[in-house]
Structure 1
Amino acid sequence: MRIGFAGLGNMGGRMSACIVRAGHPVLGYDLAAENVAAAGAKAAGSIGEVAAGSDIVLLSLPDSHVVESVVLGDDGVLAHARPGQIVVDLSTAAPDSTTRLHALLAARGASYLDAGISGGAAAAEKGALTLMVGGDLDALDQARPVLDLVAAQIFHCGPSGAGHTVKLLNNFLNATALAATAEVMVAGRKAGIDLDVLLAVLNASSGVNFATLNRFPKIVHGDYLKGGLTNSLMLKDVNLYVALAAKLGVASLNAAGPVASFGMARALGYADEISNTVVDAIGDLSGGVRLQENS
């Protein structure tokens, strides 16, 4: 199966590198040409070249607007779609947009899988991501040998749009936990609590979450785990969740916290920094607090 990849940034580049390390050539395209080389891919001159030369096309792009431009552009994926081709969208995107693209590609005989990813840069580096996939199960089975190269777990969540829906639900919980834990850690620092002790208590108690287990044990010692989702992208994901909740008629009572936290981080100059730096933005508004003892 000839593999193409569009969008070789923080996550796509790492996924492409995993595929290449497994011995499979990748035809890649990114607006930053250096990203293609860094990912070990063969450079394509356009999205159209990737689509025309690949049996499976992987997309890792910032949002639905960019996904639509890549798929629907004059020399985009749809223009070169053909029966039997599989397009896998690994972006975090709006489910409504996803189902629309699925229908357009299906009319050309191609399959479109929405495959939200979780695990961050570290998991992408190791090929150990979690994928939540929507779309045709037969197409997923055909794509699985390639997806297994980047993922440790693959869940078929339902029809088109289900993968991106589950991704938004997951990311909302991730954002809420990260923002709330950041606030708690700043409060702990200002209260004079040893943060390693605080984390040990939280991780043995009911406040435990992904951020207390995996993020803050590094952050309190100055490692912000750079390379993952930025504050701007986290805010984008939370806003997509809010739109989804509104469409579903679900009362989104807990969205204000992460919307405020990551919006504030973006406004204070952390827009393109990893979302873990939300703790520094909260610290800025709390008297210039940093978690590291020597700060």
Structure 2
Amino acid sequence: MSETQIGFIGLGNMGGRMARRLVDAGTKVLGFDPNTAAVTAAGAEVAASIAVLIETCDIVLMSLPDSKVVERVVEGEDGALTHARAGQVIVDLSTAAASSTRRLSALFAEKGVSYVDAGISGGAAAAEKGTLTLMVGGEQEALDRLAPVFRHIATKVEFLGPSGAGHTTKLLNNFLNAVSLAATAEVMVAGKKAGLDLHQLLDVINASSGVNFATLNRFPKIANGDYLEGGLTSKLMTKDVVLYADLLHELGVSPLNTSGPMASFGLATALGYGDQISNRVVDALGDISGGVRLHDPV
């Protein structure tokens, strides 16, 4: 066992970038992903199995699509829970259901393992630069042990409370992200059809009460044909909105505002944009509005 080697399960769009940040900082990373090419592309050593990775590393990071995949990795045959040992810290960087997170945390606690939920925000660009925001739930002692790791991938690490608090915060944030992206896409298509100069429109909105992350950071580039590829897909955005609705049901809060983003990203998926960056929702809305594109064809 090596205290200097970090395990990383799931080296996809975000995980691969985070693993690369660790490798470039001089950290030894042992990675496992069904696509072994993704592990080597990140500069990590390929683990033969999840079991080998868990048995080798004292700190393990996971970046997986959803709770169902996390549960298979943790509770599946020969999975992480089977091979976990006292003193380990396992970090779930996925966007997952807090109820599932709390259940897995309790199972790991029985083996003396600290299970930390760390929702991430910032997208592929921030993962590339190591400037992510981490929303953390779990034990403060475990977070202290993770500080040398997190400093290479994030510039803001916020401890929010016990197990599940990080993933809860992540879902709340992602829902607002979904709302602002879907609503701004609709507004921009309307602005285009109205004959407005889109950059001028954005300048006005960004100095007014409609300003949001999408108007500030996404649409100034989308209006020029740069969709900022590499981020969250429409399918994953839809998944996050569903998780948010499930969370509100558990909390006894009426999810009155979920229908807009559900319809928008569901439309994007139905029209073939599901596996592309969620910013393409503007093209889906444009398709049903007469074939509108914000930018002039090249």
Deviation beyond 3 Å, 4+ runs, structure 1? none
Q: Number of aligned residue pairs: give it.
A: 295
Gap runs ≥5 in structure 1: none
SS in 1 for 2:14: helix
Q: Which residue of 2 aligns with 1:34?
A: 37
1:104 counterpart letter in structure 2? L
- The letter for the 1-side match of 2:185 is A
TM-score w.r.t. length of structure 1: 0.99
SS at match of 2:112: coil
- The structural deviation recorded for 1:293 is 2.4
Query: Which secondary structure state, in structure 2, belongs to the residue aligned with residue 173 of structure 1?
Result: helix
Superposition deviation, residue 45 in structure 1: 1.2
SS of aligned partner of 1:157: strand
Q: Which residue of 1 aligns with 2:23?
A: 20
% identical aligned pairs: 66
Q: Deviations over 1:228-253 (max 9, x none)?
A: 10000000000000010111111111
Distance 1:46 1:104 in 2: 21
- Structure 2 equivalent of residue 206 of structure 1: 209
**One-letter code of the match for 2:241?**
V
**What secondary structure sits across from 1:114 in the alignment?**
strand
User: 1:169 corresponds to which letter in structure 2?
Assistant: L
Q: Matches of 2:211 and 2:58 in 1, distance apart?
A: 43
Q: Match for residue 189 of structure 2?
A: 186
Specify the code of the residue in structure 1 equivalent to 2:279.
N
- Measure how far apart 1:294 and its partner are: 3.1
- Per the TM alignment, residue 127 of structure 1 is displaced from its structure 2 partner at its CA by 0.5
User: What letter corresponds to residue 43 of structure 1 in structure 2?
Assistant: V
Distance in 2 separating the partners of 1:222 and 1:51? 43
The residue aligned with 1:164 is: 167
1:49, distance to aligned residue in structure 2 (A): 1.3
The offset of 1:27, in angstroms, is: 0.1
Equivalent of 1:73 in 65, 72, 76: 76
| TM-score, scaled to structure 2 | 0.98
- Alignment partners' CA distance in 1, 2:198 and 2:273: 23
- Equivalent-residue separation in structure 2 for 1:133 and 1:146 (angstroms): 14
Match of 2:251 in 1: 248
Equivalent residues in 2 for 1:93-108 (5 A)? 93-108=96-111
Gaps of 5+ in 2: none
2:130 and 2:79 map into 1 onto residues whose CA distance is 27
CA distance in 2, matches of 1:294, 1:265: 20
Name the structure 2 match of 1:133. Answer: 136
1:25 to partner: Cα distance: 1.0
Which residue identity is paired with 1:125?
E
User: SS in structure 1 opposite 2:143?
Assistant: helix
SS in 1 for 2:173: helix
* Cα distance in 2 between the residues matched to 1:47 and 1:246: 34
